[in-house]
């Protein structure tokens, strides 16, 4: 095991196999461990018309190996008291496994077996496609999930990041085993692998267990890096997802934001804390506390490698939806135009600095933070310097970042509601500066549709 | 209860706290937790219970206050008051104007929230570990235990928030609607476990300020509270802060505890809901054991064998082999008194609930006849053990685990009963417990139909 480049406080040993990076966060108080394998390639790389390809490929890994049927594989893993999950994200494919440390070697062998010797059974693929199509249909049953799903696609427009990760009924129908066989080696290349482990696990044990499997992964794969920029059209767009019998609405509002590498990201994070990041932030105070219009009213700043977004979410009753939307937009406009004041800045900085220890509270959380930095291409010192960097941000920095990136005139808005009640008042609210579109809840949103 | 001997250094801590504050704690229990940690249970003269664990690994500490009051303690026509009142506890006290509490906590980076269920209500703060933060949270929690002030405007604003929470969790959510209907059907709308913790909408609308203040005076007192502190804060500082801020609060008489009526499901009642959904649901319930019931551990093992993970028998059968469902699950209510065992099936689009229900019940009957295999039993044991350690991830999670058992059963040591007793479960005891509880004639069923399928 080589020594790594990290500090003594945060050792970053590398597994001594073809220089795959492994980040370890040991915690030996409990006989339990977790390991994560992240391959830096995800669903954003699915070709047009083949949406869902990476998701299917990842899920099929879980459905048996050359040595074991799916049922045998599941019984073996779960018999150990362990679990394995795969998650095909937009820009990474993650395999996570956890269990009792006495079974670590056996569990890692099973993870290796599924990566290197997947069964890729035709019958299982067809079953998986049927099940995925059923899950897609079921999404419409949850207003919250439906709203989020469409919101992401509306926010990203025709960008690959907006493609539905699980695909569509049409795209899934066209995917075959040969598509998956072609896709898997490009996903599972060793050069794109990042490993993390936490709990009762030593570097030597982890390396010994992983090495034989890592050597059998493909070393490299062809480059594939979709460039991601979010559309900033200067026109407000509202999509009403029309669902009958709603007593409540789900409202999402989003604007494009900077990536985590942009110098404005941290100032905007502080600004978002003031806008909607806490229970006492502007959104919650005005929409929930003063008026009781929504159980929750929050905003989030998403930051990824090459783009970001600032999004607000609240869910008022149908009767309050129009005034709540009007107020939410007014708050966003005021935030963009006036920024934050000195008192709010001090409060937000105090909240972020004092809350920082929670990010390092447990071995699992420390690991998550360090993996996130690595996946985003940020240095490990980014975390260690967080408190100082927040302290150095000025009021001018925050308000400049807000003025530069928060463009309410380009807001993307998705509302799940019963449209016959709300369409006209929302059209009046948006006026000629925006576009209001109604989409039936039980019809799939088509990626990039206008 | 036989108590372990009090070790000398800790008795000195108790002496020092008594000398500094004028209030003496009585040590009632010491108990190892999760391998290397150690929990102590202590009590003040006014009845306040304190559980604490010093965990040097965490740079934070969790401070939780559990009150022995939940929706079970409400009465018909006033359902939802325990939960609505939980919201009101974040308003104002005699010394803290509205909004102060949240701002005080957020300025220190705290994570705060609360939850209400049938047997309890709890409030938590998680803060960076420091003596100042500990002192602050003890002062604030002691203050709102006895000095809350409310007005009509606060009640009305929070009533609207709660009505919106109900719309979000129940009225516009098919699973929420089905779950609420199941409990009302199986136990009755008038049973304390049969009405929803969030309350019926008409009751939420009818709760008055006088109702809230009467509820507060009745149930929010030291003798009905358990404080759980977990993290890297010194025992002496924990006890000193708590004694200083709570020690003077007078003991209050609590209403006598009465068990709810014994649940009883006569025959096989059924109801249907027709909703704009894609996938039908079937929810079935039998009367289930209490959290302390001798059968509880064997039942958990049996449910793990039948429904746990991808290899659970009924999961595998209905989702993977027959492809009738997208999700299946079962659980037993962790209540102080007998509640329900719920079975839930979400079918694939186009599949009727009855098509999935029949093989599920047949698999249950088969299990009740033959029990699990040796491999299945070992899987369940290992899953229970791993699940226990998985659940101890943070200071707040550990505090919650202890708090829920202390608030529900009066003994936090029960939190690891499942792990301690899981190796005692045999093929026969797992089989017998399913036969005893899940093949009874009394069984209630809710069918959620898709609008177009049911038409």
Question: pTM for the complete prediction?
Answer: 0.93
Q: Rounded distance, CA B98 to CA B101, Å?
A: 7
Q: Residue B93 has what DSSP assignment?
A: E
Q: Rounded distance, CA B191 to CA B185, Å?
A: 10
pLDDT digits over B345-385, tens only?
A: 999 999 999 999 999 999 999 999 999 999 999 999 999 99
Asked if the model's pLDDT at residue A213 lies above 60, the reply is yes
CB contact under 8 A, A131 and B323: yes
Residue among B119, B166, B197, B434 nearest B307 (CA): B434
Residue among A84, A82, A62, A173 nearest A444 (CA): A173
The dihedral through the CA atoms of B179, B183, B185, B190 has a sign that is: negative
Q: Residue A74 has what DSSP assignment?
A: H
Domains of chain A: 14-214 (3.30.830.10), 236-440 (3.30.830.10)
pLDDT at position B2 = 42
Task: Measure in Å the smallest separation between the Cα of B374 and chain A Cα atoms.
Answer: 11
Give the 3-state DSSP-derived string for B44-72, with helices as H, strands as E and coil as C: CCCCCEEEEEECCCCCEEEEEEEECCCHH
In angstroms, how far is CA B447 from the centroid of its own chain? 26
Q: Rounded distance, CA A294 to CA A40, Å?
A: 38
User: In B, which residues are within 8 Å of A78 by CB distance?
Assistant: 308-311, 379, 383
Of B276, B309, B375, the CB nearest to A245: B276
Q: How are strands ordered across the β-sheet holding B281-288?
A: B270-275, B444-450, B281-288, B339-347, B325-332
pLDDT at position B135 = 97
In angstroms, how far is CA A193 from the centroid of its own chain? 18
HSE-CB at B250 with a 13 A cutoff on CA atoms is 5
Task: Measure in Å the smallest separation between the Cα of B80 and chain A Cα atoms.
Answer: 15
Domains of chain B: 8-246 (3.30.830.10), 270-454 (3.30.830.10)
Please state, rounded to an integer, the average pLDDT across all residues of chain B: 94
Q: How are strands ordered across the β-sheet holding B225-231?
A: B26-33, B37-43, B49-54, B225-231, B60-67, B121-128, B111-116
Q: Rounded distance, CA B54 to CA B203, Å?
A: 43
Report, in angstroms and rounded to the nearest whole number, the Rg of chain B calculated over CA atoms: 23
Interface test with A, best of B53, B112, B126, B161 (most A CBs within 10 A): B161
Residue among B269, B98, B133 nearest A279 (CA): B98
Please, are residues A281 and A349 in contact by the beta-carbon 8 Å criterion? Answer: no
pLDDT digits over A3-26, tens only?
A: 233 333 444 555 556 678 899 999
Report, in angstroms and rounded to the nearest whole number, the Rg of chain A calculated over CA atoms: 23
pLDDT digits over B278-321, tens only?
A: 999 999 999 999 999 999 999 999 999 999 999 999 999 999 99
- Element counts in chain A: helices (H) and strands (E): 17, 12
The helix (H) or strand (E) run that includes residue A170 is helix A169-173
The dihedral through the CA atoms of A50, A56, A61, A63 has a sign that is: negative
Interior/surface letters A338-349, b for 16+ CB within 10 angstroms, e for the rest: ebbeeebbebbb
The pLDDT of A197-203, averaged and rounded, is 93
Question: Which chain B residue lies closest to A129 (C-alpha atoms)?
Answer: B323
Q: Rounded distance, CA A115 to CA B320, Å?
A: 21
Of A70, A280, A357, the CB nearest to B106: A280
Q: Rounded distance, CA B337 to CA B340, Å?
A: 10
3-state secondary structure of A246: coil
User: In A, which residues are within 8 Å of B320 by CB distance?
Assistant: 70-71, 127
Asked if the model's pLDDT at residue A224 lies above 70, the reply is no
Please, are residues B246 and B46 in contact by the beta-carbon 8 Å criterion? Answer: yes
Asked if the model's pLDDT at residue B187 lies above 90, the reply is yes
User: In A, which residues are within 8 Å of B174 by CB distance?
Assistant: 141
Please, are residues A339 and A402 in contact by the beta-carbon 8 Å criterion? Answer: yes
pLDDT at position B306 = 98
- Residue B27 dihedral angles phi and psi, to the nearest 5°: -80, 125
**Phi/psi-derived region of residue A308, left when phi > 0, alpha when psi is between -120 and 50, beta in every other case:** beta
CB contact under 8 A, A248 and B311: no
Measured CA distances, A179 to A64, A94, A117 (Å): 18, 20, 17
Asked if the model's pLDDT at residue A373 lies above 80, the reply is yes
**End-to-end distance of chain B based on CA atoms, in angstroms?**
61
- Residue B261 dihedral angles phi and psi, to the nearest 5°: -55, 145
Please, are residues B226 and B403 in contact by the beta-carbon 8 Å criterion? Answer: yes
Please, are residues B419 and B347 in contact by the beta-carbon 8 Å criterion? Answer: no
Label the pairing between strands A193-199 and A32-39. Answer: antiparallel
What ranges make up the beta strands (E) of A8-111?
Answer: 14-15, 20-26, 32-39, 83-88, 93-100
Please, are residues B297 and B421 in contact by the beta-carbon 8 Å criterion? Answer: yes
The interface pTM score, or ipTM, of the predicted complex is 0.91
Structure tokens at B323: 């492809």
Beta bridge partners of B121: B67, B116
* pLDDT interval class at A228 (50, 70, 90): low
HSE-CB at B56 with a 13 A cutoff on CA atoms is 2
Structure tokens at B120: 């309890």
Of B34, B160, B348, the CB nearest to A134: B348
Residues 6+ apart with CB under 8 A from B205: B159, B163
Asked if the model's pLDDT at residue B34 lies above 80, the reply is no
Residue among A274, A286, A285 nearest A401 (CA): A274
The pLDDT of A156-185, averaged and rounded, is 91
CA angle B193, B194, B197 (to 5 degrees): 70
Q: Rounded distance, CA A269 to CA B96, Å?
A: 29
Question: Which chain B residue lies closest to A99 (C-alpha atoms)?
Answer: B386
Task: Measure in Å the smallest separation between the Cα of A296 and chain B Cα atoms.
Answer: 8
Interface test with B, best of A31, A169, A247 (most B CBs within 10 A): A247
pLDDT at position B1 = 40
The residue to which tokens 């039993």 are assigned: B377
The dihedral through the CA atoms of A356, A358, A359, A360 has a sign that is: positive
pLDDT digits over A312-362, tens only?
A: 999 999 999 999 999 999 999 999 999 999 999 999 999 999 999 999 999
pLDDT digits over A123-144, tens only?
A: 999 999 999 999 999 999 999 9
The helix (H) or strand (E) run that includes residue A271 is helix A265-276
Max intra-chain CA distance, chain B: 74
Measured CA distances, A349 to A262, A345, A395, B125, B126 (Å): 19, 6, 11, 19, 18
pLDDT at position B3 = 44
CB contact under 8 A, A350 and B168: no
Q: Rounded distance, CA B309 to CA B104, Å?
A: 43
pLDDT at position A1 = 31
The pLDDT of A393-421, averaged and rounded, is 96
User: In A, which residues are within 8 Å of B164 by CB distance?
Assistant: 248, 292-295, 315-317
Measured CA distances, A290 to A273, B103, B157, B194 (Å): 19, 15, 7, 33
Residue among B318, B316, B85 nearest B204 (CA): B85
Of B161, B381, B389, the CB nearest to A32: B389
User: In B, which residues are within 8 Å of A166 by CB distance?
Assistant: none
User: In sequence order, what DSSP letters do the residues of A131-161 get, joined into one string?
Assistant: HHHHHHHHGGG-HHHHHHHHHHHHHHTTSGG
The helix (H) or strand (E) run that includes residue B326 is strand B325-332
Of B279, B310, B386, the CB nearest to A100: B386
pLDDT at position A232 = 66
Q: Rounded distance, CA A360 to CA B60, Å?
A: 9
Q: Rounded distance, CA B74 to CA A117, Å?
A: 58
Of A127, A138, A315, the CB nearest to B168: A315
Structure tokens at B22: 């004028």
pLDDT at position B154 = 94
List, in sequence order, the alpha helices (H) in B283-411: 296-307, 313-315, 353-370, 374-390, 395-409
CA angle A288, A291, A292 (to 5 degrees): 50
- Residue B28 dihedral angles phi and psi, to the nearest 5°: -105, -40
pLDDT digits over B434-445, tens only?
A: 999 999 999 999
The residue to which tokens 């694939």 are assigned: B348
Please, are residues B296 and B290 in contact by the beta-carbon 8 Å criterion? Answer: yes
3-state secondary structure of B351: coil
Interior/surface letters B322-341, b for 16+ CB within 10 angstroms, e for the rest: eebbbbbbbebbbbbbbbbb
Task: Measure in Å the smallest separation between the Cα of A262 and chain B Cα atoms.
Answer: 25
Asked if the model's pLDDT at residue B25 lies above 60, the reply is yes
């Amino acid at each position: 095991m080589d020594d790594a480049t990290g500090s003594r406080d945060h050792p970053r040993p590398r597994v001594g196999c073809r220089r795959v990076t492994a980040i370890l966060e040991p915690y030996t108080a409990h006989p339990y461990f977790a390991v994560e394998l992240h391959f830096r390639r995800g669903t954003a790389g699915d070709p047009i018309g083949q949406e869902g390809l990476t998701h299917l490929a990842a899920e099929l890994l879980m459905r048996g190996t050359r040595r074991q049927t799916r049922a045998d594989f599941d019984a073996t893993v779960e018999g150990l008291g362990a679990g394995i999950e795969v998650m095909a994200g937009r820009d990474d494919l993650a395999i996570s496994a956890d269990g009792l440390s006495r079974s670590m070697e056996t569990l890692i062998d099973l993870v290796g077996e599924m990566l290197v010797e997947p069964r890729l059974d035709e019958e299982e693929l067809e079953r998986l496609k049927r099940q995925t199509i059923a899950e897609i249909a079921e999404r419409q049953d949850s207003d919250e999930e439906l709203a989020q799903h469409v919101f992401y696609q509306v926010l990203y427009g025709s960008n690959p990041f907006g493609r539905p990760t699980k695909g569509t009924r049409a795209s899934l129908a066209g995917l075959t085993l040969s598509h998956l066989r072609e896709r898997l080696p490009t996903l599972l290349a060793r050069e794109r692998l990042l490993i993390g482990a936490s709990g009762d696990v030593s570097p030597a044990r982890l390396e010994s267990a992983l090495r034989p499997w890592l050597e059998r992964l493909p070393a490299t794969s062809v480059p594939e890096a979709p460039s991601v920029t979010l559309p900033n059209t200067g026109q407000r767009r509202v999509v009403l997802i029309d669902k009958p019998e709603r007593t409540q609405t789900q409202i999402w509002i989003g604007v494009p934001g900077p990536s985590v590498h942009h110098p404005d990201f941290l100032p905007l994070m502080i600004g978002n804390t003031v806008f909607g990041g806490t229970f006492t932030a502007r959104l919650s105070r005005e929409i929930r506390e003063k008026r009781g219009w929504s159980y929750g009213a929050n905003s989030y700043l998403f930051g990824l490698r090459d783009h970001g977004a600032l999004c607000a979410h609240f869910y008022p009753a149908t009767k309050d939806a129009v005034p709540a939307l009007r107020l939410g937009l007014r708050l966003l406009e005021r935030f963009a135009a006036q920024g934050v004041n000195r008192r709010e800045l001090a409060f937000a900085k105090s909240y972020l600095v004092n809350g920082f220890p929670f990010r390092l509270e447990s071995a699992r959380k420390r690991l998550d933070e360090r993996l996130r930095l690595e996946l985003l291409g940020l240095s490990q010192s980014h975390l260690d310097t967080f408190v100082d960097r927040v302290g150095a941000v000025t009021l001018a920095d925050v308000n400049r970042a807000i003025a530069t990136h928060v463009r309410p005139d380009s807001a993307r808005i998705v509302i799940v509601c019963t449209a016959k009640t709300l369409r006209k008042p929302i059209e009046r609210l948006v006026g000629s500066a925006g576009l209001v579109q109604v989409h039936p809840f039980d019809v799939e949103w088509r990626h990039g549709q206008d | 209860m036989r108590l372990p001997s009090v070790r000398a250094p800790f008795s000195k801590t108790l002496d020092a706290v008594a000398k500094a504050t004028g209030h003496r704690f009585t040590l009632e229990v010491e108990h190892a937790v999760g391998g290397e940690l150690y929990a102590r249970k202590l009590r003040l003269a006014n009845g306040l219970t304190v559980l604490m664990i010093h965990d040097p690994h965490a740079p934070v500490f969790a401070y939780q206050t559990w009150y022995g009051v939940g929706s079970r303690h409400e009465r018909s026509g006033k359902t939802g008051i325990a939960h609505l009142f939980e919201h009101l506890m974040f308003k104002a006290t005699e010394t803290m104007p509205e909004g102060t509490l949240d701002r005080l906590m957020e300025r220190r980076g705290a994570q705060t929230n609360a939850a209400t269920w049938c047997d309890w209500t709890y409030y938590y703060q998680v803060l960076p570990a420091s003596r100042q933060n500990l002192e602050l949270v003890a002062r604030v929690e002691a203050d709102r235990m006895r000095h809350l002030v409310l007005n009509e405007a606060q009640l009305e604003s929070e009533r609207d928030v709660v009505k919106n929470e109900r719309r979000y969790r129940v009225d516009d959510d098919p699973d929420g609607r089905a779950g609420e209907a199941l409990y009302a059907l199986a136990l009755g709308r008038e049973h304390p476990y049969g009405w929803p913790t969030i309350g019926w909408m008409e009751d939420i609308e009818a709760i008055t300020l006088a109702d809230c203040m009467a509820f507060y005076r009745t149930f929010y007192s030291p003798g009905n509270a358990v404080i759980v502190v977990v993290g890297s804060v010194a025992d002496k500082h924990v006890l000193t802060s708590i004694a200083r801020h709570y020690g003077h609060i007078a003991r209050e008489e609590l209403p006598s505890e009465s068990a709810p009526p014994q649940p009883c499901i006569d025959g096989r009642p059924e109801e249907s809901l027709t909703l704009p959904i894609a996938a039908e649901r079937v929810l079935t319930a039998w009367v289930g054991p209490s959290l302390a019931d001798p059968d509880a551990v064997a039942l958990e093992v049996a449910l793990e064998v039948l429904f746990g993970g991808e290899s659970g028998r009924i999961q595998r059968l209905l989702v993977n082999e027959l492809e009738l469902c997208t999700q299946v699950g079962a659980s037993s209510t962790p209540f102080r008194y007998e509640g329900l065992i719920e079975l839930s099936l979400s079918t694939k689009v186009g599949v009727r609930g009855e098509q999935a229900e029949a093989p599920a019940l047949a698999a249950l009957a088969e299990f009740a006849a033959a029990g699990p295999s040796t491999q299945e039993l070992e899987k369940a044991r290992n899953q229970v053990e791993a699940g226990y350690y998985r659940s101890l991830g943070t200071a707040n999670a550990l505090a919650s685990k202890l708090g829920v058992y202390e608030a529900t059963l009066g003994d936090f040591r029960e939190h690891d009963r499942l792990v301690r007793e899981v190796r005692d479960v045999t093929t026969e005891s797992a089989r017998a417990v399913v036969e005893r509880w899940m093949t009874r004639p009394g069984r209630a069923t809710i069918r959620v139909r898709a609008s177009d399928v049911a038409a």
